[in-house]
Amino acid sequence: MAESKLQSLAEVFNHRFFRVPDFQRGYAWRKEQLDDFWQDLISLAEGMNHYTGLLTIEQVTKEEVANQEKWQDDMWMLDKGLKAFYVIDGQQRLTTVIILIDCILENYGETDGVNLEAKTDWVKKFLWQQFGKYKSYNFGYEKDNPSDEFFRTRILDQESATADKVPERTLYTANLSFAKKYFRDKLKALNGGKTSWEDIFRKVTTSLLFNVYEIDNDLDVFVTFETMNNRGRPLSKLELLKNRLIYLSTKLQEPESDRSGLRRDVNEAWKTVYAYLGKNPNDDETLTDDEFLYNHWVMTFEYERGESEAYARFLLNEYFTVPQVLATKIGFDEIKSYVDSLAQSVKEWYYIFNPNDSPYSPDVKAWLDRLNRLRFASFYPLVLAALVKGVEEKTLVKLMESIERFIFLVFHVSARQSNTKNNHFFRVASRLFKDEMTIEEVIENLTDLTDGSNAWVDVGRFKDQIADLFKKSEGFYSWGGIRYLLYEYESHLQDKAKGEEKIGWREFSRRNKEESIEHIFPREAKLDCWKDTFGEYSKKEKEILLHSLGNLLILSQSKNSELQNKCFDFKRKHVDKRGNSVGYFNGSYSEIEVSENSDWTPRDIVARGVSLLSFIEKRWTISFGQGKDKQDILRLDFVK
pLDDT of residue 1: 45
Calpha distance 607→615 (Å, rounded): 12
> What's the chain's length in residues?
640
Confidence of residue 229 (pLDDT cuts 50, 70, 90): very low
pTM of the entire predicted model: 0.81
Confidence of residue 224 (pLDDT cuts 50, 70, 90): low
Calpha distance 426→406 (Å, rounded): 15
Q: Which residue has the higher pLDDT, 383 or 161?
A: 383
User: Measured between alpha carbons, how far apart are the two ends of the chain, in Å?
Assistant: 86
If you average pLDDT over residues 531-538, what whole number do you get?
93
Give ∠ CA 614-619-621 in degrees, rounded to 5.
85
Are the C-beta atoms of residues 251 and 324 closer than 8 Å to each other? no
pLDDT of residue 230: 46
User: Cβ–Cβ contacts within 10 Å for residue 49, how many?
Assistant: 14
Calpha distance 227→214 (Å, rounded): 15
Are the C-beta atoms of residues 3 and 216 closer than 8 Å to each other? no
User: Cβ–Cβ contacts within 10 Å for residue 341, how many?
Assistant: 16
pLDDT of residue 527: 92
Confidence of residue 41 (pLDDT cuts 50, 70, 90): very high
Note the pLDDT tens digit of each residue in 396-437: 999 999 999 999 999 999 999 988 898 999 999 999 999 999
Q: Which residue has the higher pLDDT, 307 or 60?
A: 60
pLDDT of 82 strictly over 50: yes
Are the C-beta atoms of residues 176 and 99 closer than 8 Å to each other? yes
Mean pLDDT is lowest, of 27-41, 172-186, 217-231, 474-488, for: 217-231
Q: Work out the percent of the chain whose per-residue pLDDT is above 90.
A: 67
Q: How many helices (H) and strands (E) does the chain have?
A: 31, 14
Among the listed residues 155, 153, 176, the one whose alpha carbon sits nearest the alpha carbon of residue 164: 153
Ramachandran quadrant class, 375 (left: phi over 0; alpha: psi -120 to 50; beta: rest): left
Q: What is the dihedral of CA 553, 558, 562, 566, to 10 degrees?
A: -30
pLDDT of residue 459: 93
Q: Where are the alpha helices (DSSP H) in 359-414?
A: 362-374, 380-388, 393-406
Output the CA–CA distances (angstroms, integers) from residue 273 to 81, 237, 248, 538, in the order listed: 38, 13, 20, 60
If you average pLDDT over residues 171-184, what whole number do you get?
92
pLDDT of 218 strictly over 60: no
Calpha distance 74→134 (Å, rounded): 8
Note the pLDDT tens digit of each residue in 3-18: 567 999 999 999 999 9
The DSSP-derived string for 26-92 is -----HHHHHHHHHHHHHPPTT--EEEEEEEEEEE-HHHHTT-GGGGGGHHHHHTTPEEEEEEE-HH
Query: Are β-strands 117-118 and 113-114 bridged in parallel, bridged antiparallel, or unpaired?
Result: antiparallel
The secondary structure of residue 145, as a DSSP letter, is S
If you average pLDDT over residues 380-384, what whole number do you get?
97
Calpha distance 31→365 (Å, rounded): 34
If you average pLDDT over residues 296-317, what whole number do you get?
84
Q: Which residue has the higher pLDDT, 66 or 218?
A: 66
CB-based contacts of 54, cutoff 8 Å, min separation 6: 89, 90, 210, 211, 213, 228, 229, 231
pLDDT of residue 309: 83
pLDDT of 496 strictly over 60: yes
Average pLDDT, rounded, for the chain: 89
If you average pLDDT over residues 254-264, what whole number do you get?
90
SS (H, E, C) 89-105: ECHHHHHHHHHHHHHHH
Mean pLDDT is lowest, of 87-101, 266-280, 301-315, 355-369, for: 301-315
The secondary structure of residue 272, as a DSSP letter, is H
Confidence of residue 231 (pLDDT cuts 50, 70, 90): very low
pLDDT of residue 169: 66
Q: Which residue has the higher pLDDT, 177 or 25?
A: 177
Are the C-beta atoms of residues 387 and 352 closer than 8 Å to each other? yes
Mean pLDDT is lowest, of 246-250, 305-309, 383-387, for: 305-309
pLDDT of 294 strictly over 80: yes
User: Cβ–Cβ contacts within 10 Å for residue 372, how many?
Assistant: 15
Confidence of residue 278 (pLDDT cuts 50, 70, 90): confident
pLDDT of residue 134: 81
